[in-house]
Amino acid sequence: MTSILGENINIVRPKLIKTSIIRRYDRPEITYNKRSKKNKENSGKVKNICMLLKDNKIVSLPQGTHIDVMQSFNLSFEDVAATGWELENGNFVWR
2-13 in b/e form (b: 16+ CB < 10 A) is eeeeeeeeeeee
Q: Rounded distance, CA 52 to CA 79, Å?
A: 9
Looking at the predicted structure, is the pLDDT value of residue 94 above 90?
A: yes
Per-chain mean pLDDT for the chain: 83
Looking at the predicted structure, is the pLDDT value of residue 8 above 80?
A: no
Supply the pLDDT for residue 41. 79
Supply the pLDDT for residue 13. 64
* Banded pLDDT at 12 (limits 50, 70, 90): low
Higher pLDDT, 66 or 28: 66
pTM of the predicted model over 0.75: no
CA angle, 24 then 25 then 27, to 5°: 70
